[in-house]
Amino acid sequence: MSVKHKSNITRRKLINALLGKEYISGEELAKELGISRTMLWKEIENLRGQGFEIDGLQSTGYKIIKEPVSISADLIASKLRTKIIGKEIIVFESVDSTHNYCKNIRLTKQTDGIIVLAEKQTAGRGRLGRNWLSPKGGIWISVIISPNLPISEMNKIGLLAALSGVELLKTYKINADIKWPNDIMVYGRKIGGVLLEAQGETDLVEKLIISIGENINFPSEKIKAFAPESISASDILGSKIDINDACAKLITSMDENLMKLRKHKWEKIYQEITKNDMLAKKRIKVLLPDSTELKGLCRGITSQGRLLMQYTDNQKEELSVGEITKVYYEHKT
Ligand code: BTN
């Protein structure tokens, strides 16, 4: 496990200075960033190490010729204007699990809002103790926040994260939706999911890890043996998407949604969740943790993030945990 890159403010500014301009001289750059020429040279070398092609001529100055195709902490950071998450971004070339890595980070002022990404994971974790295959080409991301919300609000955060995953795909015209509790689906096939882990001494969650996995730039064939129902963005589009752009969009969407929640605008997020709820009005089977299987009509998601079921005797019930084991597409009411 080796950290590939950590974002830093100087390089974030350097990228912004080098983008959208013609050649800019070393002297001008060093002055703009308030650093020495030696430091500037080191930062430029660091960016080259992240896959940037930077043309550097003594006489004419520097210019970015090509952006990296693999995940770059500083390129993503340079695209962000976030308020809650993304102060620091860590990128691994390979890690067991970004989620586990975040579990082992102590919550401090510095680590609140930290983002951990990996090109690939060797022991990715899914919900309910499942494995999560994470080859190169996906977005495997974990974020630490300190929400100070009661544990009962975590259903909302899981849905909020899934909504962000859906919003990302919609920017590429992929019609994704949410399958309660927090799967990201396209054409009834899973394209991504959310894993949450809350820590705290009291009922209030002090440290929360929000992790999202989305199948982006690899054929779902690659994980078929393990996840036969899965699909990827490149399967749907027939081409790859810019992974750094996609990461920045996902982080931005999460940040905006978290900001709405902080500003007591949950209703706005909830509206979007219900618009993208794939289970509403469908007959489904739900497996409860005690192995009871329920069959009924799904009446949607409640404003508390629970699943509203209606049974044949017209009784209604709100579920806060459960696993959807079957969706009957033919019965719509
Ligand atoms: C699920 O639907 O079961 C949740 C999948 C969550 C996968 C992500 S990928 C990034 C993070 N690291 C992990 O080990 N798991 C989560």
Please write the tens of the pLDDT for every residue from 80-106. Answer: 999 999 999 999 999 999 999 999 999
Say how many Å lie between the CA of residue 212 and the centre of ligand 1. 6
Mean pLDDT value across residues 278-300:
97
pLDDT number for residue 329: 80
Q: For the purposes of burial, counting CB atoms within 10 Å of the CB of 125, is it exposed (0-12), middle (13-18) or buried (19 or more)? A: buried
Determine how many CB atoms are found less than 10 A away from the CB of residue 267: 9
Separation of 131 CA from ligand 1 center, angstroms? 8
Q: Once rounded to an integer, what is the mean pLDDT over residues 199-217?
A: 95
d(CA 165, CA 194): 9
Distance from the CA of 120 to the center of ligand 1, in angstroms? 12
Q: In the predicted model, what is the mean pLDDT of residues 210-222?
A: 97
In this structure, are residues 13 and 33 in contact, taking their beta carbons and an 8 Å threshold?
Answer: yes
Segment 317-323 mean pLDDT? 97
pLDDT band at 22 (very low <50, low <70, confident <90, very high): confident
Residue 5 has pLDDT above 90, yes or no: no
Backbone φ, ψ for residue 290 (5° rounding): -90, 15
194 lines ligand 1 (CB under 6 A): yes
- What pLDDT is attached to residue 91? 96
* pLDDT (average), residues 258-262: 97
The 10s digit of each residue's pLDDT in 171-207 is: 999 999 999 999 999 999 999 999 999 999 889 999 9
Nearest 5 degrees, angle CA 302-CA 326-CA 215? 85
DSSP 3-state assignment of 310? strand
User: How confident is residue 331, by pLDDT bands cut at 50, 70 and 90?
Assistant: very low
- Given a cut of 60, whether residue 326 has pLDDT beyond it is yes
Locus of tokens 């999911």: 193
Structure tokens at 268: 């706005």
Q: Is residue 314 predicted with pLDDT exceeding 70?
A: yes
Q: How far is CA 277 from CA 59, 107, 124, 159, 180, in A?
A: 58, 33, 26, 10, 8
Determine the Cα–Cα distance for residues 29 and 37; give it in Å rounded to an integer.
9
The residue nearest atom 2 of ligand 1, judged by CA position, is 193
pLDDT score recorded for residue 112 = 97
Ligand 1 neighbourhood includes 182 CB (under 6 angstroms) = no
What pLDDT shows up at residue 152? 93
- Ligand 1: which of 91, 99, 159 to mutate, most ligand atoms within 8 Å of CB? 99
Block residue for tokens 């340079």 = 78
Average pLDDT, the chain: 94
pLDDT surpasses 90 at 263: yes
What digits encode the pLDDT tens for the residues 229-256?
Answer: 999 999 999 999 999 999 999 999 999 9
Q: State residue 330's pLDDT score.
A: 65
The answer to whether 51 and 69 are in contact (CB under 8 A) is yes
Stretch 99-120: mean pLDDT: 96
The mean pLDDT value for 156-182 works out to 98
The percent of residues in the chain predicted with pLDDT above 90, rounded, is 90
CA–centroid distance, 103 to ligand 1, in Å, is 13
Protein residue closest via CA to atom 3 of ligand 1? 126
d(Cα 210, Cα 314) in Å, to the nearest integer? 36
Does residue 1 register a pLDDT over 70?
no
Share of the chain above pLDDT 70, in %: 97
Q: What is the pLDDT of residues 31-73, one digit of tens each?
A: 999 999 999 999 999 999 999 999 987 678 999 999 999 999 9
Beta strands in the chain (DSSP E): 3-6, 53-57, 61-66, 89-95, 115-121, 139-145, 149-150, 176-179, 183-186, 189-199, 204-205, 207-214, 282-287, 293-301, 307-310, 316-319, 323-332
pLDDT of residue 58: 65
* Whole-angstrom distance, CA of residue 143 vs CA of residue 253: 13
pLDDT value of position 21: 64
